[in-house]
Amino acid sequence: MNLDKVISGFFFILAMTINFGFFYGDIGNPELHSVYELFAALVVSLISTVLKIGDKTQLGAVLLATSLVADIQLIGAVTVWTVTEYLSIVDVEAFAAIISLSGGALLANITSVILYIGETLKSKR
Amino acid sequence: MNNNALWIILQKLRIPLLVIIVTYSVAILGMVLIPGMDDSGKVYHLSFFDAFYFVSYMASTIGFGESPYAFTYEQKLWVSVCIYITVIGWFYGLGALVSAVTDKTLKFEMMKSRFRKKVKALENDFVIVLGYTHVNVEIIKKLHMANMEVVLIDEDEEKINLFMLEELKRDVPVMVGNALLTETLQYAGILQNNCKGIIALFENEEHNFRIAILTKFLNSKVKVVAKSTYDDISKSILDTDIAKVINPFEVFSKRIDVALRSPYTLVLENWIYGNSDLSEKPLYLPDGKYVICGYGRFGKALQLKFNKYGIEHVFIDAKRLAHHTMIEDGSFVRANPDDKDILLDVGIKEAAALIVGTKNDIDNLSIVITAKKLNPNIYIIARENTMQEVSVFQAADIDWLFMIEQIYINKASMALVNPVKHSFLKLVLKQEESWVKSFINLLKNQVGINPLLERLDINEESAYALYQELQNGVDIEIEVLLCSLKNRKERNPALPLLLYRKGKKILLPNNVNLQIGDQILFACTRESLMEIELIASNIYELHYAKYGQEKENPILRKFFS
């Protein structure tokens, strides 16, 4: 067992699950989406991005790309949240944008986890 | 992924980035969770944005103060913890970034990719030169004069830095690398079509051999110029079919051979190399006994020639052994040549010439001085190993100086820059003295005492008019090129020396019809060269030279008829 693999696998999957946790729930209802979860999703996603750096194979490059997509979507969600809150224009449309951005990030995270699992299954050791 | 440099930076920054992310997020989360108090004493929580804002300027030690309200003691407690973890994390990250950027491997990778880009961008023909030495710099200068680009590789970074200080006409892409590896050669562009040659003049001749072999398999169109003074290595290098071997001892012994056989040929050879003009007096080596100091590779090469012409000679060498028959018949003395008594013993007083050919320049000079004292009239031939001492050797009043480095420079640059000139020289060396003598007179009468040696290629680029006419199937004799444009019945001072056609060489071509792809070597003056080029490339001038009348311009005729 390789400790590096455990840690990176942990963060890849955690990024996906936390993202899902934030995304799950009625898209128009802010009470069902915790800001702490969004924060955690962003941090874990950033960590998993850094963990993916340095793998020069084709698959490593795709993994890194999906992770970068998730980061950008989550940063977008956070930015929208901050801007709307401080400009006091919290409405259903803005909130829906935040949730759908995190939904996009969730898709990227799912892709990345599928690729990761695929690679693990392929490996003969 | 070709961009190695970026990957190296990213890989080195993985841990610092993780540290920054973790410390920031811990600090931000703490700031959000710990309750604060606003101006009116109500409890409030920092939003994530407030916390991010505060931690950002705290970690980077900018420190704008406590915001949005003054902190409570609970908050201050947490902030004092955060200061230590985030600031340390931040500086660790910065430090890692700086050290990654200044990293040696990174610099090497960046230099490599810059070098690669420059080499790929070369449009002219280029030559790969291995190693920064005095000789190679002179060769590079000659190649630049001939409009060829150069790429340089050296193993030593210090040397590359020194090379950057050289004043050269063109930009030379340089790389630190081991030239004996295929990868390095590929980086230097050996696979490119415009790579015309590679120069390997390493002291270690095994290396030169290796380069020849590698080049043969990488790109057999590239010509290798390699130094080799040992017979077996020379043979192996020549076996690759793409290499030219430079053996300075061989070259010089051939010159001695030529000087003994046909002094006029030597005048011609010196002119071809551009060392002197044709008015030079031919050099007659004196008759009599030759004393030769040094019985190494140089001495052995000379011995063959002396035996061939039956010249009395004696070798002196302190270290090497010779066949016992040589010692018995007195043609070898095992002693230190830099010794007055030894020189007297071998008969320096009666000797006609002295050849000093040890590999130590100072020894050579010292022997020359001693010998001159003993026999002021003796003819002296001296070997000079490095060009650094050239002024000292000139002051020593030596009759014939044999400069090893000059031979490398001349041979290597000629083989790559002007192969036609080189084959002309080879043909000339085979001729009888009477032929050479009359040839020199012909040159002197027709062209002048120091004609230029220039090449004309019959192709679309450098001889447009000829190319067009030949395409149309018109027969054009070589003499057409020699017509004077003022009066075509007169001949310009120029002489075609060699016509090179698909491996066939025609010496002094006469009444030959030109073909596309021919290369012609001319002896000419500056003015006649201009006219030759004009006739070759301008359709009107060519028409006049061939038919003696002006060619009618079809467009103008429409206007005036």
Q: Which of B223, B130, B231 is nearest to B418 (CA)?
A: B223
Domain borders along chain A are 3-122
CATH architecture observed for domain B4-101? Orthogonal Bundle (1.10)
Chain B residues closer than 8 Å to A53 by CB: 10-11, 13-14, 17
Instruction: Give residue-wise pLDDT tens across range B220-251.
Output: 889 899 998 888 888 888 888 888 888 888 88
**B251 is written with which tokens?**
């070259």
Q: Do B21 and A50 touch (CB under 8 A)?
A: yes
Give helix then strand counts, H and E, for chain A. Answer: 4, 0
Tokens 């018995």 label which residue? B328
SS3 content of chain A, % helix, strand, coil (to 5): 80, 0, 20
Q: What is the mean pLDDT of residues B293-299?
A: 86
More reliable by pLDDT, A3 or A75:
A75
Q: What is the DSSP letter of B552?
A: P
Q: How many CB atoms sit inside 10 A of residue A121's CB?
A: 8
pLDDT of residue A124: 62
- Chain B residues within an 8 Å CB radius of A82: 47-49
Domain boundaries defined on chain B: 4-101, 110-246, 250-416, 451-555
Contact criterion met (CB < 8 Å) for A53 and B11: yes
- Same CATH topology for B110-246 and B451-555: the answer is no
Amino acid symbol at B475: D
Torsion of the alpha carbons at B106, B112, B113 and B116, rounded to the nearest 10: 180
Choose among B341, B276, B286: nearest CA to B311: B286
Inter-chain CB proximity A47 and B18 less than 8 Å: yes
- How many of the other CB atoms lie within 10 Å of CB of B47? 17
Q: Judging by DSSP bridges, how do beta strands B400-403 and B353-356 pair with one another?
A: unpaired
Give the contacts of B556 (CB within 8 A, at least 6 positions apart).
none
Which DSSP state fits B326? H
Q: Could you report the per-residue pLDDT of B63-110, keeping only the tens digit for each?
A: 888 888 889 998 999 999 999 999 999 999 999 989 888 888 888 888
| HSE-up of residue A52 (Cα within 13 Å, Cβ side) | 31
Q: Distance (Å, rounded) from C-alpha B454 to C-alpha B462?
A: 13
CA dihedral defined by B92, B98, B99, B100, rounded to 10 degrees? 100
- Topology (CATH level 3) of domain B250-416: Rossmann fold (3.40.50)
Residue B45, chain A, CB below 8 Å: the answer is no
Contact call for residues B333 and B342 (beta carbons, < 8 A): yes
Give the span between the Cα atoms of B542 and B520, in whole angstroms: 17
Strands, sheet with B504-507, edge to edge from the N-terminal-most edge strand: B452-457, B519-524, B494-501, B504-507
Which carries the bigger pLDDT value, residue B554 or residue B129?
B129
| Residue B290 to residue B346: CA distance in whole angstroms | 10
List of chain A residues whose C-beta atoms are within 8 Å of the C-beta of residue B96: none
Beta bridge partners of B243: B224
A·B CB contacts under 8 A: 40
B14-23, B144-153, B278-287, B459-468: least confident range = B278-287
- Integer Cα distance of A110 and B448 in angstroms: 86
> For residue B414, how many other CB atoms are within 10 A of its CB?
20
Do A108 and A114 meet the contact criterion of CB atoms below 8 Å apart? Answer: no
Q: Do A56 and B49 touch (CB under 8 A)?
A: no
pLDDT, tens only, B179-209: 899 999 999 999 999 998 999 999 888 999 9
pLDDT, residue B426, reads: 84
Pick from B1, B22, B25: CB nearest A61: B1
What's residue A125's pLDDT? Answer: 54
pLDDT at A48 over 90: yes
Tell me how close the Cα of A58 comes to any Cα of chain B, in angstroms: 9
Would the CA dihedral through B212, B214, B220, B224 be positive or negative? negative
Q: Do B49 and A61 touch (CB under 8 A)?
A: no
Q: What is the mean pLDDT of residues B57-62?
A: 88
Is the pLDDT score of B1 beyond 50? Answer: no
Cβ–Cβ under 8 Å, residues A22 and A41: yes
Task: Give dist(CA B518, CA B534) in Å, integer.
Answer: 17
Whole-angstrom Cα Rg for chain B: 36
User: Is the Cβ of B79 closer than 8 Å to some Cβ of chain A?
Assistant: no
Rounded to the nearest angstrom, the gap between the alpha carbon of residue B502 and the centroid of all alpha carbons in its chain is 26
**Does residue B3 belong to the interface with chain A, where contact is any CB pair within 8 Å?**
no
* In contact, B292 and B317? CB cutoff 8 Å: no
Which residues in chain A touch residue B10, judged by CB atoms under 8 angstroms apart?
53-54
Pairing of strands B174-176, B149-154: parallel
Predicted confidence (pLDDT) per residue in B357-393, tens digit: 888 888 888 888 888 888 888 888 888 888 777 778 7
Compute the distance between CA of residue B351 and CA of residue B334 in angstroms, rounded to an integer.
Answer: 18
Count of CB atoms within 10 A of residue A15's CB? 31
Average pLDDT over residues B254-270: 85
Which pLDDT score is estimated for B561? 56
Average pLDDT over all residues of chain B = 86
Rounded Cα gap, residues B126 and B197, in angstroms: 7
Residue B272, strand partner residues: none
Taking CB atoms and an 8 Å cutoff, what residues of chain A touch B14?
50-51, 53-54
Residues whose CB is less than 8 angstroms from the CB of residue B115 and which lie 6 or more positions away in sequence, other chains included: B173, B174, B175, B187, B188
Q: Are B315 and B357 in contact (CB under 8 A)?
A: no
pLDDT the model gives residue B3: 66
Distance CA A27, CA A22 (A): 10
CATH 3.30.70.1450 fits B451-555, yes or no: yes
Residue B334 sits at φ, ψ, to 5 deg, of: -95, 100
B21 CB neighbours in chain A (<8 A) are: 43, 46-47, 50
pLDDT at res. B294: 86
- The CATH-assigned architecture of domain B110-246 is 3-Layer(aba) Sandwich (3.40)
- pLDDT mean over B251-258: 86
Residue B61, Cα to own-chain centre: how many angstroms?
55
| DSSP state string for B246-260 | E-HHHHHHHHHHHHH
Q: For the segment B100-144, what is each residue's pLDDT rounded down to a tens digit?
A: 888 888 888 888 888 999 999 998 889 999 999 888 998 999 899
Using the beta-carbon criterion (under 8 Å), do B7 and A56 form an inter-chain contact?
yes
Q: What number is the average pLDDT over the span B472-486?
A: 84
The Cα–Cα gap between A14 and A8 comes to: 10
Select from B409, B380, B405, B376 the least CA-distant residue to B394.
B380
* Tokens found for residue B439: 């040839």
Per-residue pLDDT tens digits for B327-356: 887 788 888 888 888 888 888 888 888 888
Number of H helices, E strands in chain B: 24, 18
Residue B485 has pLDDT above 60, yes or no: yes
**Contact by Cβ (8 Å): B127, B150:** yes
Query: Residues 74-103, chain A: which have Cβ within 8 Å of B?
Result: 78, 82, 85-86
The alpha carbon dihedral of B10, B16, B19, B20 has a sign of negative
Amino acid in the structure at residue A25: G
* Residue whose token pair is 């898209």: A27
Using a CB–CB cutoff of 8 Å, tell me whether B11 touches chain A. yes
**For residues B249 and B230, is the Cβ–Cβ distance under 8 A?**
no
Nearest to B160 by CA among B205, B107, B226: B107
CB B144 within 8 A of CB B168: yes
Contacts of A61 in chain B (CB under 8 A): 1
How far is residue B302's CA from residue B306's CA, in Å, rounded to a whole number? 6
Three-state secondary structure of B8-45? HHHHHCHHHHHHHHHHHHHHHHHHHHCCEECCCCCEEC
The structure tokens listed for A97 are 């944008």
Q: Hey, is B143 helix, strand or coil? A: helix
User: Is A43 close to B21, i.e. CB distance below 8 A?
Assistant: yes
For residue B315, what are the β-bridge partners?
B292, B332
